[in-house]
Structure 1
């Protein structure tokens, strides 16, 4: 909240009852609906293009000290020294290393002059622009070059440009009280810019501007939402059909905490510049439930939330729980917003950063000593979740990430770290099922001398997570700076990789006691912003403050982009890492683990008793890299696993594995007919069942291993019925295959076909016929039960010095070159039951 020192004094007089505070609306002003502390319908209008606004510099920032966000009113127990059980002291190896991209100066001492103190550093990235909004000015930057293309100006100047009289003369056109938020509405390709105007008390306003196009320097639709309570520390998010916003409510002049409020703005009409309403729900204090500084869900990515997901609000409650509320209904006509009963999500217990600070504002962050030995500890705002509640829909589950500042040592005054969370809710078939739970969490607090706080978290489209934050310490050169830590989806749950410095400050913020009444030298933040580039859904943009020279009112802001390794690379499906393919499973319950792949959004594992089967298990792990499968067989049979990877919203890739179940397996054994017996036509073959066999196949052929007579896939049956058997007295070869753990074991059995076998005889040319021309083709009648024919042609009986022909089961020799004189002798061999029988013929030869 932006207040001058003079106005601060007036409000203090109001606080102590020296000036009466009354609620008086002008005759043309919309009054709040009965029982509500807000006006349902916003005043609205249009602006001129932002680039046509006057450039506005703040000459004396000491006159623009931002109202300090009120601390949580809920009492906490004294810190017990309990260590943080999920503290990460050492970084883990991670492939998710960030590469720095843009790195340019934002608004502040070195660019455009100062605004208020602190800056409330906030910004968002769009298709071609980066928009920064700090206390109390905003500007537009070319994101490719970092050049400021419009501004700095104020939001009040934008409202003052409206032709609508109520906006042009209203509080939004008069006051720039700060707590700014800027968002990029990816689905609509629009900018959303907001701040509150509270200097017009007892009317309190939230001033919202929606760009009319994707160009942030263009014209805006303007909306002024009004309240009868002080709407402190607003936080805003974009949802598919609404804009969400949260407030901590205080009485006139901030005299007392009266509750927490969550609201939905009518996004559909706001995007059109039409009249728009708000619907709100208030958590009254002290009636309860006790909630404070809730964050609204803010959509990242190209996939909209499920139709039945209407938006979420999350925050801290106590020291070992999160609280999450879901919207269940919105009535813009009456202003009624309906929530569910609220979900308490247990988390690992924590101690708030600077919890022991007696002033209640969580002030204990050290800095290096400044000139003259002056030192000043900074505020951590450890009593609340930090902006944003970054939301993504991966189709089969929803996820949200956010953070807050903690004391991992549990003293309430020791080194601070960043606690971060990833929440999941299953959405099978695109419909939310069950409830949100903590998928993973951790506390980043390395064993060094740096303090970490004031973070912002986000996730890219490849499920890499980044948490960016401020760092500071008491040692020389540990000036307040900007850092980020990242993780890949394949990293161990609850861990982050190495820390990367984004920008280093070079001075401390000093305790300048001469700054006068209202001076708040401990102020830092009060929040920062990490946003996702919509052009690649990978690059992240972070804004925070730093100092280049020691003083109180001389901060700078810095905008830095980075991209985590792997994001945007060619997707690669996940691969099983344990157990090893082909190995024997450890029992009837087995843990299967796999790597993350590249660009994989979710995993589904099928486990079955046949290839591609899922008769044992079909488990969507909702992003987890392992799962337990129970009900596995114990007979040594094959177990077939298909690991599916969801890429680009589609279950498009899979890897398949075969394992052996625990226990021993035996193949089937042929039982009927008896080996060596004579087969009739047709014949039914039966066998005894083995153990662990997932499929039986039977080959019937005229040679060993052949299936020229029959091939039968019996599945898990134990018979091959009515197989046609030639009745020619030939040997019949039967092979029984048993599929066990992906490998076939076989049994071979020989039989004799019924009927009599007979050898073939040459039918042409007729024996004794004189052959002319130097070539001849010999043909014969088919024998019975013959599995191979061979022809010898020679100049003496039984010889093959003229020709040798292996005809297989053909009944012709093909053209054979013969002499043009003398006599040739032809021997035709018929292979019957493994033995050759023959007939002969002879022919005189002539030219």
Structure 2
């Protein structure tokens, strides 16, 4: 969650159940009649023979930019026992709940609609009558369910909490504003249960913290946690790397930090907000929305952290790529680093919705990410119509939930075990009609979840399929 000050939030991990009122509109990789129908249909094509949406996007912009790796400081290693002793000594105890008002670090302006974007809920468009023949599949039944963090007892008195976490072989690591905790898979708390200030104390330079991220990396068997500090400008990006896959009292974390103006790249008067974190075989990727000290949007910036430099004591090696959006001209807003657990991967990526136009995603390809990285120009991808989401009504509340904007959540690359194809999956919130079509105006709109599968990543990225989950009730 982006915000001006420290995270504010109830720290509760919630599970979502999809009721019968929600309709999944799009191609699925299910079984039975749906899958059979999908196999029997050729991809829908445009009149010009292409299989991607038309749109005004779809052409690369600019050539590769070779980065300049900057060597930072060495890491600081601490055992979990040491961290927990500091947390007990600090004894923050109960803190009043801190509420946050309307978010301020949003898009700098409402993007323009792409008049050529297809107004369809899914891609490829479904053949006429196909939706009615789709098999209705029940959602998975929830298994173990437990409350991870709460507002009581000084755990996380911040609203919203910026709930983040990931799952390892035997444990679940949860990091929210105010608290970091490890659980086993039955919900029992493990050796790490610290306030965030104590956990990050060795590298936070006395500053407050916000926007936590967590990844478990299957390739190295390490946990990676990331967070940023929030002075007015030139804040720090903090990284913690575990000693192994299981976190106990005897385990350790090695902590790294770097200022966003590392190497004097012109970010000293800006603030990194809403870091988008990704991990692959070669590097760690951090994308930032950059705002001035006065809160005005400047551009977006990406950082490529050489993975091998942070698996030991360091020093950390970071390659910054400044201004991915040409101020507000074109490029990925809220760029996310992309997760990829393919051990043979040789390229990395950033992705985000375009800063200037709806119905366009923008990728940036990183070559040689584990050495001297080079960043591609904008790789534009036209998608079915998108829009900014509405605030979301919440059951039992008179206050709607803030849905942020159309920024992407979790982006990851997966290999299809049947076909061998490697594709990127991502999703975001948009406002839609009762037919699940993205719409930036008009009555009867509601929020929907739009997902994408993107292929041909090493060449010209292409939309393989997309779908929209929404409530199709008339009102």
Whether TM-score is above 0.5 comes out as: yes
Deviation at 1:115, TM superposition (A): 3.4
Which of these residues, 32, 35, 41, is aligned with residue 72 of structure 2?
41
Q: Which residue of 1 aligns with 2:144?
A: 102
1:281 and 1:337 in contact (8 A); partners too: no
Q: Which residue of 2 aligns with 1:518?
A: none
Three-state SS of the structure 2 residue aligned to 1:222 is: strand
Please state if 1:446 is matched with 2:471. yes
1:647-662 equivalences under 5 Å are: none
Q: Which residue of 1 aligns with 2:25?
A: none
Q: Provide closer, same or farther for how the CA distance between residues 383 and 91 of structure 1 changes in structure 2, counting only shifts above 3 A.
A: farther
Q: State how far apart, in whole Å, the 2-side matches of 1:78 and 1:347 are.
A: 12
Q: Deviations over 1:794-821 (max 9, x none)?
A: xxxxxxxxxxxxxxxxxxxxxxxxxxxx
Deviation at 1:285, TM superposition (A): 4.6
Which of these residues, 348, 366, 369, is aligned with residue 384 of structure 2?
348
Please state if 1:379 is matched with 2:402. yes
Q: State how far apart, in whole Å, the 2-side matches of 1:74 and 1:247 are.
A: 17
Q: State how far apart, in whole Å, the 2-side matches of 1:76 and 1:320 are.
A: 9
Deviation at 1:251, TM superposition (A): 1.4
Deviation at 1:415, TM superposition (A): 0.8
Deviation at 1:150, TM superposition (A): 3.5
Q: Deviations over 1:737-779 (max 9, x none)?
A: xxxxxxxxxxxxxxxxxxxxxxxxxxxxxxxxxxxxxxxxxxx
Deviation at 1:208, TM superposition (A): 0.6
Q: State how far apart, in whole Å, the 2-side matches of 1:265 and 1:316 are.
A: 23
1:38 and 1:226 in contact (8 A); partners too: no
1:233-252 equivalences under 5 Å are: 233-252=274-293
1:268-287 equivalences under 5 Å are: 268-283=308-323, 285-286=326-327
Which of these residues, 239, 244, 255, is aligned with residue 222 of structure 1?
255
Deviation at 1:440, TM superposition (A): 0.8
Deviation at 1:106, TM superposition (A): 1.1
Gaps of 5+ in 1: 6-35, 355-363, 427-431, 451-847
Q: Which residue of 2 aligns with 1:316?
A: 353
Q: State how far apart, in whole Å, the 2-side matches of 1:353 and 1:342 are.
A: 25
Q: State how far apart, in whole Å, the 1-side matches of 2:157 and 2:69 are.
A: 29
Q: Provide closer, same or farther for how the CA distance between residues 206 and 125 of structure 1 changes in structure 2, counting only shifts above 3 A.
A: same
Larger RCO: 1 or 2 (CA < 8 Å, sep 6+):
2
Q: State how far apart, in whole Å, the 2-side matches of 1:241 and 1:262 are.
A: 16
Q: State how far apart, in whole Å, the 1-side matches of 2:206 and 2:137 are.
A: 50
Q: Which residue of 2 aligns with 1:266?
A: 306
Which of these residues, 230, 233, 237, is aligned with residue 198 of structure 1?
230
Three-state SS of the structure 2 residue aligned to 1:101 is: coil
Greater percentage in strand: 1
Q: Provide closer, same or farther for how the CA distance between residues 138 and 331 of structure 1 changes in structure 2, counting only shifts above 3 A.
A: closer
Q: State how far apart, in whole Å, the 2-side matches of 1:60 and 1:150 are.
A: 23
Q: Provide closer, same or farther for how the CA distance between residues 444 and 394 of structure 1 changes in structure 2, counting only shifts above 3 A.
A: closer
Q: Provide closer, same or farther for how the CA distance between residues 42 and 58 of structure 1 changes in structure 2, counting only shifts above 3 A.
A: farther
1:267-666 equivalences under 5 Å are: 267-283=307-323, 285-286=326-327, 288-300=329-341, 303-306=342-345, 309-317=346-354, 318-330=357-369, 337-354=373-390, 364-368=391-395, 370=397, 375-386=398-409, 388-394=410-416, 396-409=420-433, 410-412=439-441, 414-425=445-456, 432=458, 434-448=459-473
Q: State how far apart, in whole Å, the 2-side matches of 1:57 and 1:237 are.
A: 31
Q: Which has the larger radius of gyration?
A: 1
Number of residue-to-residue matches in the alignment: 380
TM-score relative to the length of structure 1: 0.41
Deviation at 1:64, TM superposition (A): 7.0
Deviation at 1:96, TM superposition (A): 7.5
Q: State how far apart, in whole Å, the 2-side matches of 1:41 and 1:259 are.
A: 24
TM-score relative to the length of structure 2: 0.71
RMSD after superposition: 3.3
Deviation at 1:280, TM superposition (A): 1.4
Q: Deviations over 1:165-208 (max 9, x none)?
A: xx4xxxx1523321000110111111101110113x44310111
1:727-742 equivalences under 5 Å are: none
Q: Provide closer, same or farther for how the CA distance between residues 448 and 314 of structure 1 changes in structure 2, counting only shifts above 3 A.
A: same
Gaps of 5+ in 2: 8-66, 261-267, 434-438
Q: Which residue of 2 aligns with 1:54?
A: 87
2:113 and 2:359 in contact (8 A); partners too: no
2:6 and 2:210 in contact (8 A); partners too: no
Q: Provide closer, same or farther for how the CA distance between residues 42 and 294 of structure 1 changes in structure 2, counting only shifts above 3 A.
A: same
Q: Deviations over 1:289-337 (max 9, x none)?
A: 343111111024xx4243xx320111112222211111024586xxx74
